[in-house]
Amino acid sequence: MGDLKGWLQTRRAQGQLRSLSPLHKGTAGHIRLTDEPGELIDFSSNDYLGLSSHPALIAAATEAISRYGTGSGAARLMSGNLAIHQELETAIAQLKGKEAGLTFGSGYMANTGIIPALVGRHDLIFSDRLNHASIHDGCRLSGAKTIRFRHNDPAHLESLLKKKQENQTALIVVESIYSMDGDRCPLPALVELKNRYHCLLMVDEAHATGVYGANGGGIIEEDGVGAGVDLAMGTFGKALGSYGAYVAASKEMIDYLINRARSFIFSTALPPAVAAASLAAVKLIRQEPELRRELHDKVRFFKEALTKGGISAELGPSQIIPILIGDSKKAVAIAQELRTLGLFVTAVRPPTVPEGTARLRFTITRLHQEDDLALAARLVCEKLSTN
């Protein structure tokens, strides 16, 4: 750690110092900053379907609090295991087309618990270079030899898989929709590789569950590859409007994780209200596909407005829309200017993304209004043409 003050100063000078600012939720799709008047259009939320304020989730959480109280009181293997946890796990297993499910305290905890349970010192991990930090940390914690393959490049992955020994245990781990680039993994090709080279395949659907698939089961459902994915992981904190995470897998795999995933074993069970809200969300996304349709309509509308406004860059296939700026300071400056104009958009910069690829990251939600999206697109296009 060393010299704190010096470290902070250097970071600040590089335009890379992160800090927290307090905020309030505003009307749908908006936030308010404590120290500034007026509302900002929020382009940084992962609450893609707006479920965190949905009456069905609020009712389920409220009911669970009156029935069970606020905390679960212990880890699942102690006395913290409630019927609501197991109901949620059954529902998530069904959604993902697997035999069983297991919940975790968060996505970070799921990835740092599951990966070290699966592989160890003598094993291999093939990890997409742009995987989320929690996946990288899980890989490191496992002690397995981790080989990062080029982002979304199955040919590169295959050239690396050829070096794997026949009987060596290996895990391929990817995201289905990438959190910073908003692009989509070539899942069928990955399933073929994992079969050909006898690996386990784990897919993190943090940004896809609820948003893709006929029932909201994510890219795994949309691509119809449930059987080929050994571990279908995802979170409840994004499109599902709640908190926590899950993995769906074979019954055997789940029994194994219950005994081996340390972030599951040694951590308090999810609060009953949180589990109840997640369960309500899983039911809702199956029953109301129009929630997804409304979101995708808004995404299409915003992208068309950007393109018409003169942005020629590829805007990607999903609700996560990166606009590449390059330099960190410039990205921060543009985000700051947009803030004064009423848009809350994050400048994503290293180390979250590779050096020289700082960007504005827009996330679209179902709650955005079309006139807000049109206004935002116009402001962004103006800023980019004058910068």
Q: Which residues contact ligand PLP (rule: CB under 6 A)?
A: 106-108, 111, 132, 134, 175, 179, 204, 206-207, 235, 237, 245
Burial (CB count within 10 angstroms: exposed 0-12, middle 13-18, buried 19+), residue 44? middle
C-beta of 45 vs 197, nearer to ligand PLP? 45
- The whole-angstrom separation of Cα 174 and Cα 221 is 16
> Which of the residues 142, 179, 215, 242 is marked catalytic?
179
Told to judge if 183 belongs to the known catalytic residues of this protein, a careful annotator would answer: no
CB closest to ligand PLP, residue no: 107
C-beta of 220 vs 306, nearer to ligand PLP? 220
Looking at the DSSP bridge assignments, the partners of residue 33 are: 23
Interacting residues of 101 by C-beta distance below 8 A, sequence separation 6+: 88, 89, 90, 91, 92, 93, 246, 247, 248, 249, 254
Give min distance, CB of 159 to ligand PLP, in A: 25
Reading phi first (left if > 0) and then psi (alpha if -120 to 50, else beta), residue 6 is in alpha
Told to judge if 46 belongs to the known catalytic residues of this protein, a careful annotator would answer: yes
C-beta of 47 vs 372, nearer to ligand PLP? 47
- The whole-angstrom separation of Cα 268 and Cα 73 is 7
Enter the DSSP assignment of 366: T
> Which of the residues 30, 42, 45, 46 is marked catalytic?
46
C-beta of 98 vs 132, nearer to ligand PLP? 132
> Which of the residues 204, 205, 223, 372 is marked catalytic?
204
> Which of the residues 54, 85, 96, 132 is marked catalytic?
132
C-beta of 47 vs 204, nearer to ligand PLP? 204
Q: Could you tell me the two tokens for 27? A: 């009307």
Using DSSP's 3-state secondary structure scheme, residue 113 falls into helix
- The whole-angstrom separation of Cα 66 and Cα 99 is 31
Give min distance, CB of 108 to ligand PLP, in A: 4
Told to judge if 204 belongs to the known catalytic residues of this protein, a careful annotator would answer: yes
Enter the DSSP assignment of 184: B
Q: Count of CB atoms within 10 A of residue 214's CB?
A: 10
Amino acid in the structure at residue 182: G
The helix (H) or strand (E) run that includes residue 125 is strand 124-128
Give min distance, CB of 235 to ligand PLP, in A: 4
Reading phi first (left if > 0) and then psi (alpha if -120 to 50, else beta), residue 38 is in left
> Which of the residues 85, 96, 136, 238 is marked catalytic?
238
C-beta of 274 vs 345, nearer to ligand PLP? 274
Give min distance, CB of 375 to ligand PLP, in A: 28
Residue reference for tokens 């018409």: 308
- The whole-angstrom separation of Cα 367 and Cα 331 is 26
**Dihedral Cα 32, 36, 37, 38, nearest 10 deg:** -40
> Which of the residues 85, 96, 207, 368 is marked catalytic?
207
Laid out side by side, the sheet with 346-348 consists of 320-326, 358-363, 346-348
Told to judge if 25 belongs to the known catalytic residues of this protein, a careful annotator would answer: no
Told to judge if 238 belongs to the known catalytic residues of this protein, a careful annotator would answer: yes
Write out the catalytic residue numbers: 46, 132, 175, 179, 204, 207, 238
